[in-house]
Structure 1
């Protein structure tokens, strides 16, 4: 009897990554994307730029790699291995730096800006993607005239990115915080009773772990958005 079931469109994600495979994967992704960006910048001028030859290839590349990027980021807050969490945090720093460099490229901004000005008839999804990319360039300083102001803006963006990565690393290695039971009003009883009860310097308080998965679950039960 012939098999009437269709194969799934893609294999399920593999959670057996190591620090080395995470970094090798992200360097491969970034290398391919950088090559694509360079080819677009080299092959097209603003007067030739269209959605199909500039924006669409970038969108397809983004769509092709986003699942793996999400998986690599996932390890920073879920893995029991400190080495894998550190590799995931480094991955986030590399991605942040790469995206920042992309959004500071004058040659690519000129092409994206030209596509916006061309005002092609696009479907809503394509129009949204184009507008979001164009705004991202502007938000990263390409709307600022070249000179000291743009350099200062770039420096601030770099500092913010480094602080963000340091914060995530600190959050994932922090132990937690002592809180009064009243401060956790609304937390389900089964969650509240599972928390460590303080003594000595912290009588009457409970220990709320700040590791990301636990924190998200606690906040979700309180109805707090993350």
Structure 2
């Protein structure tokens, strides 16, 4: 007892009608912060934006599943400047997750994407946004909420649905990428991030760097 009150940081017993039970209240578990060092920042959420979903995604699906998965090959395949394209090939236990990331700048309008995809992403070009295509030959865990941005030593994390735009249905709430299928969307960079200077996109502990000045 502390000044007539129970100290709940220590085990205590409750008795009633000859029955008793002992309770030990532990500290709540706090998930670890991102392993990458640096202060965290939460910028105001982007205003929501609606874009039409592409009718189909086979133009990217076939390319992501076959051949060498490198930024150089993807840039060449889709007629994009090298500095706008990055790839991540992540192996987790027995699964493989491939991520294609494209910084949405003006040259993307001339990329060899399908017309419906270009129509969908056109409102986001030049606004500070990164298109993400996730695919897995094996099936893999995936969620867009594992992304965060780092610039000048500060980590920018996402808290708002308005930070993402879906290009395939369910991107925002995705928990996995089924084998051979595509999950795609757009990351809208936080207002505190300047996409005209170098920044990193992290997925968990894996990262790529954009420096398209």
Larger helix percent:
1
Q: TM-score, structure 1 length as denominator? A: 0.22
Q: TM-score, structure 2 length as denominator? A: 0.23
Larger strand percent:
2
